[in-house]
Structure 1
Amino acid sequence: MKEKVAIMTDSTCDIPQEIIAEYGIKVVPLRILYENEEYRDKIDISAEEVYERLPREIPSTSLPSPEDVLALFADLKEKGFTHVIAIHISSGLSGTAQLIENLSHQIKDLVIEVIDSKNISMGLGYTVIEAARKLKENQSFEAVRRHVLATLAKMRVYFVLGTLEYLTKGGRIGKVAGTLGQILNLKPIITVNEDGIYTTHAKVRGRRRSLDELFATIKTHLAESMHNVAICHGGAKEEAQELVERLKKLGNIAELITGHVSPVIGVHTGPGTLGLVVYPTD
């Protein structure tokens, strides 16, 4: 029987909506939980709305609704899909991939391959785009799966935050380290390690220096070979645009995508987030 393959991900991928629509990527939303309200990420609430409410209430975040996931699988089966490649946020940061894996066992007559990206934002998103583009070339399920794994091995993500407050409150970094960082005005360049967990790439004092260090980090990558690059921000539109202009003056950029971080990511990073994703195209 002829394969019909769907590409699936979650709302932390930060892929611009027009690209999601172009390739028919299936996106399951994580959830944002306030004391008396629940929102689906990017559907019922925007990052700007989350930032506006942060001084009054810091919400918690939650995995996708099992009902949403099962409904998506049922819809794919009804539309004749035979295979799903589901690529999700790092298991070191969320239980989403494990949830999808567990639910996939309830579905018959649909081959579902769940891949832990060990990444976040457009580090996840660009991998999903690569999968969708490979699929559009009429590549097989197995060929696309192998391409995803090869792409993930090359993907690098770096970001700076306006404040360490929200990572600290969310338990993503130690409270002592977070408080000390605030006092010293440290603006570390954060990356995701091979286990898919936040780690410090460089320690810098002050916002301007952190942005310059972020640029220098990407410049080093671009000096080696042709790369695809993505810039994502949360409440840092002007700085993101400035970074775009600086990058355009460099060579070795095959493609440059810009976007906005999801509300779920915004809960944990706060306003002033600026991230860069880079990977070689060879």
Structure 2
Amino acid sequence: MAHKIAIVTDSTAYIPDALNRQYNIHVVPQVLVWEQKTYRDGVDIKPADFYQRQLATTTHPTTSQATVKDFKEAFEAAAKQADSILTIVLSSDLSGAYNSAVQAMDGFGPQKIELIDSRMISMALGYLVLAAARAAADGASMADCAQLVRSRIPHAGVIITPITLEYLHRSGRISGTKRLLGTALNVKPILELVDGKLHPSGQVRTTKKAQQHLVETVAAKLQSAKRFRVAAVHANAPENAQEMLALLCEKCQPLEALVADVSPTVGCHTGPGTTGLAWSIED
């Protein structure tokens, strides 16, 4: 039986595949360009393969937004199953995917499409998408699903730490001098999503201390929350992610706790070994 509401998102959410299949979520791939070849995130290249290659080469990939064509194809597939399509994408301050979706919507019909700029990325986006998908599966209306997502955006977030400054330097995010100094001191930057953009929120020496800092930071944010979901995200560092998630769950009791990949379109700037925590409060 066809769902009345279909959910579309982009690949930076990296919701675990089993959940994408369970709720029939349509995922539009972001784009990587590496050595003059174009790859669709999660389609032509998978995270593990991307990060292994990133370690083995000095050439730096670049990113491009999900294409209008790919959004149109996702809308067409969703339209075969639903009367309405709710599309939730990563922050428009981090990518032009939102603009691609707007262009793909032009002239599309007769299904209604509603587009939401989540202001999020990674599993902070993923949990918003899952909230909508679960509400739709329970029979909620399009308006109710959209309102649910918008109401939770201010109460979601993500914080990450790369294990090296090298890839931030390669992508032009920091200077060569700062990279050399940070590497000499074994400094690990802390980056937090604020107002739709990733901002430096501190720095810690050693990876272990950085990961402990992330756990303590997120636990403090969730201290007064009653209902929330968390995820540990990683760039080919599943054991570190599992350890962080276990430590966080010792400090709080989430409704759901997942481990997910960091999209290569994010990891090309932060590098393999990056770990982070995402959360979504539902109070």
TM above 0.5:
yes
* Alignment-derived partner of residue 11 in structure 1: 11
CA separation in 2, counterparts of 1:72 and 1:251?
A: 37
Unaligned runs of 5+ in 1: none
Report SS of the residue matched to 1:64.
coil
Using the TM superposition, give the Cα deviation of residue 158 of structure 1 relative to its aligned residue in structure 2, in angstroms: 0.8
CA separation in 1, counterparts of 2:76 and 2:247?
A: 46
1:222-243: CA deviation from partner (whole Å, max 9, x where unpaired): 3222321111111222211211
1:41-78: CA deviation from partner (whole Å, max 9, x where unpaired): 1111112222222224221111223222222222333x
CA separation of 1:265/1:135 partners in 2, compared to 1, >3 Å: closer, same or farther? same
Q: How does 1:43-192 map to 2 (within 5 A)?
A: 43-54=43-54, 55-77=57-79, 79=80, 81-173=82-174, 177-178=178-179, 180-192=181-193
CA separation of 1:86/1:251 partners in 2, compared to 1, >3 Å: closer, same or farther? same
Identify which range, 133-142 or 180-189, moves more after superposition.
180-189
Paired-residue identity, %: 34
RMSD: 2.0
Report SS of the residue matched to 1:85.
strand
1:94-152: CA deviation from partner (whole Å, max 9, x where unpaired): 10011101221131312211111111110111110111111112110001110000111
CA separation of 1:174/1:93 partners in 2, compared to 1, >3 Å: closer, same or farther? farther
Using the TM superposition, give the Cα deviation of residue 191 of structure 1 relative to its aligned residue in structure 2, in angstroms: 0.6
CA separation of 1:219/1:44 partners in 2, compared to 1, >3 Å: closer, same or farther? same
Unaligned runs of 5+ in 2: none
CA separation of 1:218/1:107 partners in 2, compared to 1, >3 Å: closer, same or farther? same
Report SS of the residue matched to 2:102.
helix
**What is the number of residues matched between the two proteins?**
279
Report SS of the residue matched to 1:276.
strand
Identify which range, 239-248 or 205-214, moves more after superposition.
239-248
* Alignment-derived partner of residue 267 in structure 1: 268
CA separation in 1, counterparts of 2:157 and 2:185?
A: 27
Using the TM superposition, give the Cα deviation of residue 266 of structure 1 relative to its aligned residue in structure 2, in angstroms: 2.0
* Alignment-derived partner of residue 22 in structure 2: 22
CA separation in 1, counterparts of 2:73 and 2:180?
A: 43
